[in-house]
Amino acid sequence: MPKLMEEEVFMAFATYATVVLLKMLLMAPLTAYCRFTRGAFANDEDVALKPAEERKKLVRTHPDVERVRRCHLNDLENVVPFVLVGLLYALTGPQLSTALLHFRVFAGCRIFHSISYIFALPQPSRALAWLVGLLVTLSMAYSVLSKVLVL
């Protein structure tokens, strides 16, 4: 095993980054499931095997599909920066307990954000989950910059 993978902080980062990346990847099959169960497809070729009169009804948007798509987009906007900043943060050698707090809070926030988005939980549940996750990423970014910034 490479030496980096023996570092506790890096292994913790790899674990939680994988968790949130897998959660993000699972949003695509969830979108497909919603498309099929709601009969709402995005493109003509998606329903090419259906009769012509039925095709016009199936190429449409549906609120449930759009909700899952927006949740997925929000993951893309937040998980990718977490992974990039988190990698740099892990490489700066932070305390394990502090790093675990950052990684666990972010992962928990993203999972709760998706649950609150998909099941339309009342606000501010989703907004708070998003905000705390953003603050975690900004905290790690500040830590990286404070350790490596040379003026």
Domain contains 92: yes
**Residue 92, CA distances (Å) to 43, 48, 104, 107, 124 in order:** 46, 53, 18, 20, 34
Q: How many other CB atoms sit within 10 Å of the CB of residue 1?
A: 6
The enclosing domain of 21 has a CATH number of: 1.20.120.550
Domain contains 103: yes
Contact, 134 vs 78, CB < 8 A? yes
Domain contains 150: no
Three-state DSSP at 81 gives helix
Distance CA 37, CA 130 (A): 28
Contact, 9 vs 90, CB < 8 A? yes
Domain contains 42: no
Q: How many other CB atoms sit within 10 Å of the CB of residue 34?
A: 19
The string of pLDDT tens digits covering residues 8-22 is 999 999 999 999 999
Per the structure, how many domains does the chain have? 1
The string of pLDDT tens digits covering residues 36-94 is 898 888 787 877 777 777 777 788 788 999 999 999 999 999 999 999 999 999 999 99
Print the domain residue range for 73: 8-28+62-145
Tokens of 74: 């929000």
Distance CA 149, CA 18 (A): 28
Domain contains 35: no
